[in-house]
Amino acid sequence: MIARALRTATVVGLLGALVAPAGATPAPAPSPTPGPAVATLVTDACPHKHVPPPAVDASEVPKPGAPTPAPLAVPDPPVGGAKLGGCGLVVPDGAPPAPPGIDSAGWLVADATDGTVIAAKDPHGRYRPASTIKLLLAQVALRDLKLDTVVEGTAEDAAQEGDAAGVSPGGRYTVKDLLEGLLLISGNDAAHALARQLGGVDAAVAKMNELASALGAHDTRAATPSGLDGPGMSTSPYDLALILRAALQDKRFVEIAATPRVTFPGHPPVPTTGPPTPLPPGASAPPAPTSVAPYPILNENRLLTDFPGAVAGKNGYTDDAKKTFAGAVDRDGHRYVIVQMFGLTHAGNTYWDQYRRLLDYGVALRGKSVGTLVAATGSGAAEHRPGEGHDAVVASGPSGMGNGTRVLIGLGGLAVIAALVGAAMRTNRGR
C-alpha cells in the first residue's frame, strides 16, 4: 500500500509540473530528430482491412455461450474517397516523404476546418481504439443526459479494471463530474457510471455504435464503454478523425476536455465486506475506513501543455491496442485533427514528438487532399438535448470495496487532499 501511494504521488507530482504555470503558453518546440530507427508495421498488403492485428491476450474471448462477432463489412467504395482505400502511405501527388520515425501502423492528418484529409497511412485499417472510444461515450452522454444529473457510485463502478477517477460506493457525482473523470484522467470507473445512467453497459454500447454509424464511422464497433478490449472491438484512423471532429462541434465537450484541472467529489467511507481477518498476536487493528474529501485530478493530455493552439484530444493504451491518440490543434486559422494508432513510444521519440512531426507535415501540405471527412448524417451530441425535469439520483448497487482502493496524501503544507487512484492501474489496460 505504501509503495503504491509513493508511486501514485510521483505521478501526481509530474502531472502537476505539466500544468504549472497554468497561464503560460509554451513556445513551439522543434521537431526532434528521431533516435534509432523504429520498426513500423508494413500495411501495404492491407493486413487489417477486415479485423485488427491478432490479440496478445484473452481479453477478446467471448463469454461462454456468446458468439464471436463477425467482421464489420468493408464499405465499397471507401468512405471519404477512392484514395483512402489504400493501405500503405496515402499522400498527395508530389508530396515530400512522410515524416521519419512515425511508428504508428495507421495514422491520419486532416484539416477539420474544411474536412480535407491531407495525408494518411492505412486510413481505413482496423485497429483497437483503447480509451479513444471514450470520445463516442462522451458524445452520447452529452446528447442524452443532463450535466447536473446526480449519479450515485457503486462497487461495480469502483471495481472496473485500469485507470480510475475515484468513483466509489455512496459517492454522488454529477454527469459533468463523470465526464471530467472520463476525459481528463480516462477513468474506466466514470465510463461505467455513465453507462449505467444511459441504461446499462449494453444499452450504452449500442448507443455508441448507433452514433458511430450515423457519423459514417463504419470501421468502428464499440464492445465496452471504456475502451477495454472486448470481442469485435475496432475503429480506424479515419473513423477516429470523424468521431473527434464531431465531438469538437459541442463546446461543452471542448470545455471539459481542455480543462487542465478539476476538483473531483469525495465520498463516504468505503464499506468492507466479509468477516474480519484475524490479527496475529500483538498486532494492532487497522484503522477504520474514513471518508474522502474532494480532491484534484489533472488532465493527462500533454497536447494541452506542449502544443500552442491545442484544442482537445484523447489518448489510449492496452496491450492489444498499443498506443492510440486522437487530438486537434488550431494553427494559422485551420484546425488540424491527427490520429495515431497501434504504435509505441520510444526514448527520444515519444508519441508527442511524432504528433508534432505529423502536425508540421500537415501544415506544410495544407490545401492538398487525398480525400474528405464525410459530413455527419445526424444524431451528434450537439444536435440533441435531454428533456427538462428534476435531476435524477441513481441508487447504488451492492456495497463493497472492489479493487479501487483510494490513497490520500498531503500536497506540501496545503489543505488540499489529493485522492490518488489505487485501482490496480495496470499499464496494459484501458487508458
Active site residues: 131, 134, 186
How big is the chain, counted in residues?
Answer: 431
Three-state SS string over 44-85 comes to CCCCCCCCCCCCCCCCCCCCCCCCCCCCCCCCCCCCCCHHHH
Nearest-CA neighbor of 268 among 282, 289, 243? 289
Find, among 4, 12, 80, 5, the residue nearest to 416 by Cα.
Answer: 12
Taking each continuous run of H as one helix and of E as one strand, the counts in the chain are 10, 14
Which helix (H) or strand (E) is 111 found in, with range? strand 106-111
Question: Are 84 and 238 a contacting pair, CB within 8 Å?
Answer: yes
Q: What is the DSSP letter of 7?
A: H
User: Considering just the CA atoms, what is the radius of gyration of the chain in Å?
Assistant: 22
All 3 cell numbers of residue 270?
Answer: 468505503
Q: How far apart, in whole angstroms, are the C-alpha atoms of residue 248 and residue 255?
A: 10
92-98, long-range: CB < 8 A, 24+ apart: 92/118, 92/119, 92/365, 92/368, 92/369, 92/370, 95/119, 95/365, 95/368, 96/364, 98/361
Q: Are 168 and 406 in contact (CB under 8 A)?
A: yes
C-alpha cell at 335: 484546425
